[in-house]
Structure 1
Amino acid sequence: MDRNVDHQTAPDLREPAKDPHAWKRVVAKFQRPAPLRANWQLANTLTPYAALWLLMYLTLGVSIWLTLGLALMAAGFLVRVFIIFHDCTHGSFFASKRANSVVGFATGVLTFTPFAHWRWEHARHHASSGDLDRRGVGDVSTMTVDEYVRASIWERIRYRTMRNPITLFVFAPLLLFLVRQRFSSMGAGQPERRSVLWTNLCLLSTAVILSGVYGWQAYLFIQLVILGVSGAAGVWLFYVQHQFEDVYWERGGDWDFVEAALKGSSFYRLPKVLQWLSGNIGYHHVHHLSARIPNYRLETCHRSDPLFSSVKPVTLRSSLRSLRLRLWDEDAQRLVGFREVRDSRRTGS
């Protein structure tokens, strides 16, 4: 949070603004893409990523620990590649629609994610984030306390398994990027289905070519390690963005777009290196308020107006505590853990 902001004069987001559309003028200043910054970000992301791939191959016969260390670095850059891909799906990275589509498709192949299909699903996430009546699209599955209490034993086991950190950050990323993204969703149109098909064909071609260059065993080892680590980091970032104690959830009739953006999406304050690798996506509250702002302008927008000063930051330490929060308590208006629900039922409170 910007220390230069006077917290005593920061607006209370619970109170109706005098001008409910003032936020549009705030974000409008930052919605224009900057070609030089976009191209520089491409260069300082893709070049090191390619170099790390080569270095990993060259170190395979030297030291497996050195290779794994390089894999961690490569995974960080792949997260940054995904942020570029993410911006392209919003049409915010470049001013040109064609440039966003071309770069978006290419970075989608690198991240094992079909561009048009993910763009379609992600748009639905932005339109429904924080709405209890529209859960299930592009979010981490979250039950309310009442739903969990009424659920059968098998539904509870399934939910607990799905929300377990090992499932979320070890198995889920690989299943998501290697398996789930290879198929189109129900309701997807022809452009989205073609996107999945072309991405799969490009991935197959890339695997054949790189297996010929590096050998199939070396290719699989390098690719799976990078994808596993970057996938876990990406899922963690997405988890923290919408899973914290005072997050915003409301039923459809009471759901508000601005409240959902500023209170339902976190300000994840990261060390500068991690902020750079994650493409400023920690300023997720700004991104949900306006997806048209490129990632390289999110921080500047956040610091530009007192509107954002009342958004409480989530730190690395506090974000770890979110792992115990699994259920939404509609009465208390906050996320709670399984233990809290069990204890409250025992005491009858």
Structure 2
Amino acid sequence: MGYRVVVVGATGNVGREMLNILAERQFPVDELAALASRRSLGTECSFGDKTVKTQDLDTFDFTGWDMALFAIGSDATKIYAPKAAKAGCVVIDNSSLYRYDADVPLIVPEVNPDAIEGYSKRNIIANPNCSTAQMVVALKPLHDRAKIKRVVVSTYQSVSGAGKEAMDELWNQTKGMYVPGQEVEPSKFTKQIAFNVIPHIDKFMEDGSTKEEWKMVAETKKIVDPAIKLTATCVRVPVFVGHSEALNIEFEDFLDEEEAREILRESPGIMVVDKREDGGYVTPVECVGDFATYISRIRQDPTIENGLNLWCVSDNLRKGAALNAVQIAELLGRRVLKKG
């Protein structure tokens, strides 16, 4: 016996990826509903070897459905997620709306699966920010061994994290560079993104950090350990899919780079590709379409007593969003609903 599953926002980048991953991982779906706004009503979406037509989110009745994977913005989620939850359908939300709510668990299944038990307070589970998700998969097994004191992270985030319009802007600006008179001015981004990098993701806050940087701090504390100190600089780069992160980690106890490498090799959701030679590391282009978080460039930091540096790469539409949501659904099925 399988589940009655709803994908909300099925026509967007993340929603389509959710449908793909549900099919790829053979999630036990008895019945599937793909929901979208009225302007996308009737749009056909692929689900494995099947095609499903979108239904109207505004009039959909969630009663009798087991779980709903939400891939819409916070404003719409604020309207529809409580309706689904009240109807008895467990919401797995990809927006930032509920991530910092004490009554809503924020889950990365490889890191804090036991937190799933808290879903019943609101009937809602939150999916973390894309940049946080891949990072904590790498941090948790190292934290279990040597206890992390502080993390300094610089991100190199692809434009797909900002949606389809952002991907179109990169594509059109890049083409425009080669066609005189067809230059494309920034609209989705604050500056030109083609052949450039922008140290600004989300809104600026009073302390000078951006909301994206704040999210990484707050979510890491909630998912891994509130005692971890973290500082982030988040940068948008002209890459279509795949987020990269340079991590500097300070531990309470000494952790040798070889032991760290072995710990990460044995940890769920991680692939270590770390050869000290040309090409002996993973880049965003190579991680697209994969489930794993890739770790490379593991090495001691000689400037502090107990420090390591590493490079972390993942497909942000997968582990950073759709895959993690589906993994939460799998965890919910195993631990709570127990139908599949």
What's the TM-score once normalised by structure 1's chain length? 0.26
Higher RCO structure (Cα 8 Å, ≥6 apart):
1
In terms of Rg, which structure is larger? Answer: 1
Compare the two structures and name the one with the higher strand fraction.
2
